[in-house]
A and B are shown apart, each in its own frame.
Chain A
Amino acid sequence: MTNLAIAANGLRKSYGDKVVLDGVDLTVPEGTIFSLLGPNGAGKTTTVQILSTLTRADGGTVQVAGHDLARRPDDVRGAIGVTGQYSAVDKLLTGEENLLLMADLKHLPRGEGRRKAAELLERFDLVEAGRKPAGTYSGGMQRRLDLAMTLVGDPRLIFLDEPTTGLDPRSRRSMWQIVRELVADGVTIFLTTQYLEEADELADRIALLDHGRLIAEGTAEELKRLIPGGHIELTFADAHLLDAARRLLGTGVADPEALTLQLPSDGSVRAIRELLSLLDEHSVDPTEMNVHTPDLDDVFLTLTGQQKETLR
């Protein structure tokens, strides 16, 4: 049996009247990448804060790295590393000093700390910047330093809370590469993201979080199989036509800004023909049509879209 890095059962958290997590179960085997995916405000960051001992859960039992979270938070802290959404670097100190600060707080011997700092600066392409204050770094560099600091002391379980939010595509790719290397070394990664592409690229297992509940969980492939196919995107000339199409078809997610309507569909010729003839009969003519083969976006759109429908 594989050991579990995280085992959470019935996690609950409310802030006042607002329920943020409503009974979340999580199982993350050691040495894997687990991705928690969800829109802003779904409860991703709260989940990370609870699992990394920053916030107490209102209910539920959690084991992190084999330790009971509520009773032995300090043992959990000894086993984990956290890179949050906002850069957790000391902006007054240089990159190198930040790493040495971590080495001191992890109680590494002086020599080993220096060696580790030099190695991490090299690995994260920060050798030149290492002597400059972290406050002068670009967003991508701060994020790399942030992750490098998390790696001092070799934690076996790393939480990455939206590690690439706000990064340019190139920095994002280099971050992904680093994450892959870590997992190759046997580290467990708990990743939150709002980018489906990121979860698809990296994660072994993905859980979709919406309004504080898990609405689906599985591998990227399994999740894609949850819905029949991709989607069709129709673009209309004006809001009036968009409205008419939405009323006529009775489904889909409308974007009034872009004047588009996204419809879940398997993308077959037959389905497209039926759709177009229905629109034609009612003289609701789209100006443009795109057919998408299934990706995680569709899973997400369909599952969270359904939730919104039932709420209304």
Chain B
Amino acid sequence: MSTLTLAVRDSSTMIRRQLKGLLRYPSMTVQLVITPVVLLLLFVYVFGGTLGAGLGGGRDVYVNYVVPGILLMAVATAATGTAVMVATDMTEGIIARFRTMRIWRASVLTGHVVGAVIQQLLGMAVLIGVALAIGFSPNATAVEWLAATGLLTLFVVAITWLSVALGMKSPTPEAASNAPMPLILLPFLGSGFVPTDSMPTVLRWFAEYQPFTPIMETVRGLLLGTPIGSSAAIATAWCVGIAAVSYLWAKNTFNKA
């Protein structure tokens, strides 16, 4: 059997394993879907009036502004779940068994990544549905929707591989739950909730150059028609870079352990 056939076959077996587990124990998925929805409602109805005024409008203006930030926040939150799941899985005897079998070794990790990506795309769909119901009013064409979905999927893949690597590096599931923590802060320290030009200099500098900001700006531009500029290219480069480095990191860690 060629390496590619082996890779595809073993990966699809591992993806099936992952999906069966997710379907059987849906509480994690439900939590992943509900947390960002609660955050969205919180930001729109509690902070939205005041923050919207700062943008020169009201709550309705702020709904549009905050959705891309919440979308990325949802992915960052889910990363914690993925890291914990991977770390837990690694402590189980079944992983030792996989290592003693003639299989495509990265398939164990691919299973986790595809499972998590499906989970998160589902979560994003629900989030956008709720956002539309409370006044989110994008003016995107079908092509722009497609492009936004593509970029978000790429982002999810990148962050998921990163959290798989972090999960593998963590000695215990408890440690794994802390590792992706900084990711949750990135939407705040960027253009997720307020424009960066309202921040003090040092913070503004960080906010403009960190990876989440160009991604949020691109999604915002595609869905709402704000200027995108060079953000799209920078966002794509960040996603591909994070995905590639994390994939190699995770694969190496798995082979070494």
Q: Looking at the complex, which one of A52, A80, A87 makes contact with B93 (CB distance below 8 Å)?
A: A87
Is A93 within 8 A of B97, CB to CB? no
Binds A, one of B20-28, B67-75, B127-135, B227-235: B20-28
Closest Cβ of chain A to B92, distance in Å, is 7
* Interface residue tally on B, bucketed by range: 20 to 34
For window 193-241 of A, CB contacts with B under 8 Å fall at none
Contact with B along A54-88 (1 / 0, CB 8 A): 10000000000000000000110110111010111
Is A82 within 8 A of B20, CB to CB? no
Closest to A75 in B: B102
Query: Does any Cβ of B come within 8 Å of A189's Cβ?
Result: no
Is A86 within 8 A of B93, CB to CB? yes
Binds B, one of A99-107, A245-253, A257-265: A99-107
CB-CB under 8 A for A107 and B101, given A84-B93, A89-B93: no
Which residues from chain A contact B20 at a C-beta distance below 8 Å? 92-93, 97
Closest Cβ of chain B to A274, distance in Å, is 52
For window 2-19 of B, CB contacts with A under 8 Å fall at 9-10, 13, 16-17
Which residues from chain B contact A139 at a C-beta distance below 8 Å? none
Q: Looking at the complex, which one of B10, B24, B103 makes contact with A133 (CB distance below 8 Å)?
A: B24
Closest Cβ of chain A to B218, distance in Å, is 37
Query: Does any Cβ of A come within 8 Å of B100's Cβ?
Result: yes
Query: Does any Cβ of A come within 8 Å of B146's Cβ?
Result: no
Which residues from chain A contact B1 at a C-beta distance below 8 Å? 107
Which residues from chain A contact B21 at a C-beta distance below 8 Å? 90, 92-93
Number of A-B contacts (CB under 8 A): 60
Closest Cβ of chain B to A133, distance in Å, is 7
CB-CB under 8 A for A105 and B10, given A84-B96, A90-B17: yes
Q: Looking at the complex, which one of B24, B100, B103 makes contact with A82 (CB distance below 8 Å)?
A: B100
Is A77 within 8 A of B100, CB to CB? yes
CB-CB under 8 A for A88 and B10, given A93-B17, A93-B21, A105-B103: no
Which residues from chain A contact B16 at a C-beta distance below 8 Å? 104
CB-CB under 8 A for A101 and B24, given A54-B100, A78-B102, A87-B93: no
Report Cα–Cα, A80/B94, bound state, in Å. 16
Is A52 within 8 A of B100, CB to CB? yes
Query: Does any Cβ of B come within 8 Å of A53's Cβ?
Result: yes
Closest Cβ of chain B to A36, distance in Å, is 17
Which residues from chain B contact A180 at a C-beta distance below 8 Å? none
| 5 A-B contacts (beta carbon < 8 Å) | A88-B96, A104-B13, A105-B98, A107-B9, A146-B93
- CB within 8 Å of A: which residues of B? 1, 9-10, 13, 16-17, 20-21, 24-25, 92-94, 96-103
Given contacts A93-B17, A93-B20, A105-B10, 12 further A-B contacts (CB under 8 A): A54-B99, A54-B100, A77-B102, A82-B97, A86-B93, A88-B96, A89-B93, A90-B94, A92-B20, A101-B13, A101-B17, A105-B13
